Amino acid sequence: MVKTVPDKPQAPVRVLALQQGKLLYVAVPRGAAAKPFYELDPAKLPVSPEEAAVPKKAALFARTVDTDLMPKIGLLLCGTVAVNRRGVRLGKGAGTRTSRWHCCRRRG
């Protein structure tokens, strides 16, 4: 299972994960408090992996889920601006990625 953010630079990674048959969870853009992730199962995609990897298109068909419905994360891919000397990610926004990371981290 792979979890990514919806940023455009990560689109090739989302496509590759789907092409390789990996269950993919993509953070819902701008957050959806109750169910903040799109679940993309490559076996059930109604469109190509290239189309499914675009969050606006995924929103048309993907199931939204909370972390309690997600299996254990195999790979978490998250963009960053920089890290401090201790390796702590320094974000560029309102902290939604950090809060989603902590939700996923609690789940294992």
pLDDT tens digit sequence for 13-71: 999 999 999 999 998 877 656 888 899 999 999 999 999 999 999 999 999 998 888 88
pLDDT at 11 over 70: yes
pTM equals 0.74
State the sign of the Cα–Cα–Cα–Cα dihedral 7, 105, 65, 18: positive
- Reduced to 3 states (helix: H, G, I; strand: E, B; else coil), residue 19 is helix
